């Protein structure tokens, strides 16, 4: 339906009908108007599976949904660093939605992992906005290529579950732009989601659903978003204010209560009817976009999609430690210990929880390879050691050549609606690992968790595989990697700190009362740990392989550029090992000398490549202004400081293997407001200002350098250093006191006027 036809349809509606379309028809559908032939349109939870409910609707995964396929959660798909793989997942999900008549899949969830204990981290992608935006964007593009919409969520700054429906995320402008908005920006600009879901929380004291600055000025004005904004379920606070701000659709239905408020506001002149018309038009654009792109022949095969989930899961796992124990040989006596070997934890709790028809455990998958002894080891429903289970596990481990322990976090610890209290594993699992290591020297731990954990046992084991929450086929993928059928290629999309207290948000998370202050600013995750050169358990971007990669021949197509230009970076990567493998090539940018506080490294590009033994590929990156810029709050825009930048190629944020320098020249001069309180050093930093000011610098400092001390040379050097520092820090007004009358107040006011008119 054309825009003109939709506008004509709206012109035929009563005010009451328009208002009704701004709210849901029920829990999962938009409103319908039979007399005008406007259909209801179904939305459904995602984003890593279809949680469609035919009845008993809820948004916390309490009631059962249809049988569906659970793909890897965001924590795992981000670890793949594979855009094409996630795009394929999106296309598969779109086909399922088409077959089920779902117009919009509610996802991806792309909030930044500010704290490792946020209860919903398993759904989110990364602590880095580039990774979050690129992974989310790939899923969005895949789903929407299949004629189904997405709803990027939760906009904005929804980084904890504690008081998520009432708390205010208090964040400075630069941090919002560089970290929390940036994740959404990349996905919105490149992949253009059909809808955006506004979050429950407030942003700097204003409900996210009422933030005109972000919903209209930024989202639509700057980024070009042209879909509709819906509320998170029950996030509506002031319906009229939300319409004015740009929040179009209330979900679920308020049973007409908020519709009445809209009608009343229009009638009493508090709300322009054109605002309602615009919201209705946005909603109908998406309703008819799906209707006209419906695939009546869509069918979905749960078994076929299970295999797709298996393929994706193979790249979502990260090998964290390998003392030569992996891959395993089938001729060894192998023991699998731990409940998750037979009943894997492969998804989180809450609105993304999928009702699976088929789940492949590691025990299921290994049966096709060799006989493996098994002991449950622990019960994840309680955090108490079952002595009989522990004893059995110890015996099984003692009688094996190699023991693989399947451990992690249970649903009761990691779920939507509440945050974790710490980064610790359950005590019964910690005891199991310790006791097994006492009787078995060859131990591998496979972890099932959606966010970082502390590993006090790390030095005792020979191998660690982070399986994350990798969907219903995760057991098969784990076995593929353990036995070398698949070479692990995942990289950590987040830092694993040594302990929870090391995290930069630790002191201010989850805040006091209804206020949470993002005191760490832009120093989230590796930006903080690397800046402090702090020891971590595993750094951002880290991940081992069964082969080895050699980097060489880093080239830039220019050594200097203006910030309006683009630089092309190439690097060669060779597989120098004996098996095929995939490598994630990471590009970081480092501002060599900055006047503003910046991270040491900022990820500005990544590419995943597949290499046969002996094969070399050249990876290319294109960097523009944003790769070198920070967000300048004086001009409310991205800004590059003229100077040298290091282009760094790394295997992780801590393993930089190649580096080249480029000079970037800013084409924007930041206006400075000078006053008598401005320091000399502030003027010296601006070459133009300094040339104007030099004739006015008539300082008359005197020091006695005729010391008879044998250390006179040292004293003279110290005196000069002290004088230079004092002059640099001296405010202009100080010249009245240190120029022996050579500078007057009139001189200084004249200088200030000249400086402010540059």
Residues 746, 749: Cα–Cα separation, whole Å: 5
What is the total residue count of the chain? 758
Q: Are 587 and 604 in contact (CB under 8 A)?
A: yes
**Would you call 80 exposed, middle or buried from its count of C-beta atoms within 10 A (0-12, 13-18, 19+)?**
buried
Residues 312, 449: Cα–Cα separation, whole Å: 17
* Catalytic pick among 128, 232, 563, 682: 232
Q: How many CB atoms lie within 10 A of CB 484?
A: 15
DSSP state, 300?
Answer: -
Instruction: Annotate 408-444 with b (16+ C-beta within 10 A) or e (fewer).
Output: bbbeebbbbebbbeebbbbebbbebbebbbebbebbb
Q: How many CB atoms lie within 10 A of CB 189?
A: 14
Distance of CA 250 to the CA centre of its chain: 26
Q: How many CB atoms lie within 10 A of CB 663?
A: 14
Residues 204, 170: Cα–Cα separation, whole Å: 4
Residue 232: active-site member: yes
Which regions of 612-680 does DSSP assign to beta strands (E)? 616-623, 630-632, 637-639, 643-652, 655-665
- Which residues fall within 8 angstroms of residue 497, CB to CB, at 6 or more apart? 116, 423, 452, 503, 529, 536, 537
Residues 739, 700: Cα–Cα separation, whole Å: 5
Angle in degrees, 0-180, between the axes of helices 474-482 and 302-313, rounded to the nearest 10: 40
Residue with the two structure tokens 């209705």: 280
Residues 97, 380: Cα–Cα separation, whole Å: 33
Residue 271 tokens, joined: 């709300």
Catalytic residues: 232
């Amino acid at each position: 339906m054309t825009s003109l036809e939709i506008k004509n349809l709206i012109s035929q509606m009563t005010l009451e009908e328009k208002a009704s379309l701004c709210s849901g028809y029920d829990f999962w559908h938009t409103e319908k108007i039979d007399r005008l032939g406007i259909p209801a349109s179904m939305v459904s939870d995602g984003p890593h599976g279809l949680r469609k409910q035919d009845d008993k609707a809820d948004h916390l995964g309490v009631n059962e949904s249809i049988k569906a396929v659970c793909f890897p959660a965001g924590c795992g798909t981000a670890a793949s660093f594979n855009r094409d793989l996630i795009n394929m997942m999106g296309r598969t999900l779109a086909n399922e939605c088409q077959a089920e008549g779902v117009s919009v899949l509610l996802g991806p969830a792309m909030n930044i992992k500010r704290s490792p204990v946020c209860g919903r981290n398993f759904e989110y992608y990364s602590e880095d906005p580039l990774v979050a935006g690129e992974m989310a964007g790939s899923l969005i593009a895949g789903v929407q290529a299949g004629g189904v919409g997405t709803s990027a969520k939760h906009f904005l700054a929804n980084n904890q579950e504690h008081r998520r429906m009432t708390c205010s995320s208090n964040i400075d402008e630069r941090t919002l732009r560089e970290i929390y908005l940036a994740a959404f920006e990349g996905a919105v600009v490149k992949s253009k989601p059909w809808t955006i879901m506004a979050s429950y929380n407030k942003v700097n004291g204003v409900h996210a659903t009422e933030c005109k600055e972000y919903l209209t000025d930024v989202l639509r004005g700057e980024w070009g978003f042209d879909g509709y904004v819906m509320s998170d379920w029950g996030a509506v606070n002031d319906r009229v204010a939300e319409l004015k701000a740009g929040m179009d659709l209330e979900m679920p239905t308020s049973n007409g209560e908020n519709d009445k408020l809209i009608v009343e506001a229009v009638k009493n002149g508090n709300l322009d009817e054109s605002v309602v018309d615009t919201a209705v038009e946005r909603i109908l654009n998406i309703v008819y976009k799906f209707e006209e792109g419906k695939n009546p022949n869509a069918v979905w095969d749960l078994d076929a999609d299970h295999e797709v989930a298996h393929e994706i899961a193979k790249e979502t796992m990260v090998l964290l430690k390998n003392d030569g124990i992996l891959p395993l040989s089938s001729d060894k006596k192998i023991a699998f210990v731990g409940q998750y070997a037979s009943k894997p934890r492969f998804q989180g709790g809450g609105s993304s929880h999928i009702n699976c028809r088929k789940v492949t455990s590691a025990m299921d998958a290994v049966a096709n390879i060799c006989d493996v002894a098994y002991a449950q080891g622990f019960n994840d429903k309680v955090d108490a050691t079952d002595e009989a289970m522990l004893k059995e596990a110890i015996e099984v481990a003692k009688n094996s050549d190699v023991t693989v322990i399947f451990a992690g976090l249970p649903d009761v610890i990691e779920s939507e609606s509440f945050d974790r209290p710490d980064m610790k594993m359950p005590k019964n699992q910690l005891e199991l690992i310790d006791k097994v290591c006492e009787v078995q020297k060859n131990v591998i731990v496979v972890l099932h968790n959606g966010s970082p954990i502390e590993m006090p046992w790390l030095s005792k084991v020979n191998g660690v595989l982070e399986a994350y929450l990798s969907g219903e086929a995760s057991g098969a993928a784990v076995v593929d990697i353990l036995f070398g059928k698949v070479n692990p290629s995942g990289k950590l999309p987040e830092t694993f700190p040594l302990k929870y207290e090391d995290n930069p948000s630790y002191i201010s998370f989850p805040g006091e009362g209804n206020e949470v202050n993002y005191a760490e600013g832009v120093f989230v995750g590796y930006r903080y740990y690397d800046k402090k050169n702090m020891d971590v358990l595993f750094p951002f971007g880290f991940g081992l392989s069964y082969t080895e990669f050699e980097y060489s021949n880093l080239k830039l197509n220019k050594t200097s550029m203006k910030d309006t230009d683009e630089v092309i970076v190439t690097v060669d990567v060779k597989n120098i090992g004996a098996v095929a493998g995939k490598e994630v090539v990471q590009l970081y940018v480092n501002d060599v000398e900055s006047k503003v506080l910046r991270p040491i490294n900022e990820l500005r590009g990544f590419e995943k490549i597949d290499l046969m033994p002996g094969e070399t590929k050249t990876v290319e990156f294109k960097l523009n202004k944003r790769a070198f810029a920070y967000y300048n709050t004086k001009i409310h825009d991205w800004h590059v400081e003229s100077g040298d930048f290091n282009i760094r190629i790394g295997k992780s944020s801590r393993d930089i293997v190649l580096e080249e320098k480029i000079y970037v020249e800013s084409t924007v001069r930041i206006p400075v407001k000078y006053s008598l309180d401005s320091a000399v050093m502030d003027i010296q930093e601006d070459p133009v200002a300094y040339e104007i000011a030099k004739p006015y610098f008539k300082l008359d400092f005197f020091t006695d350098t005729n010391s008879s001390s044998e250390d006179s040379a040292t004293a003279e050097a110290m005196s000069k250093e002290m004088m230079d520092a004092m002059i640099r820090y001296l405010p202009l007004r100080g010249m009245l006191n240190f120029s022996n009358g050579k500078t007057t107040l009139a001189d200084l006011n004249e200088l200030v006027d000249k400086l402010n008119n540059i």
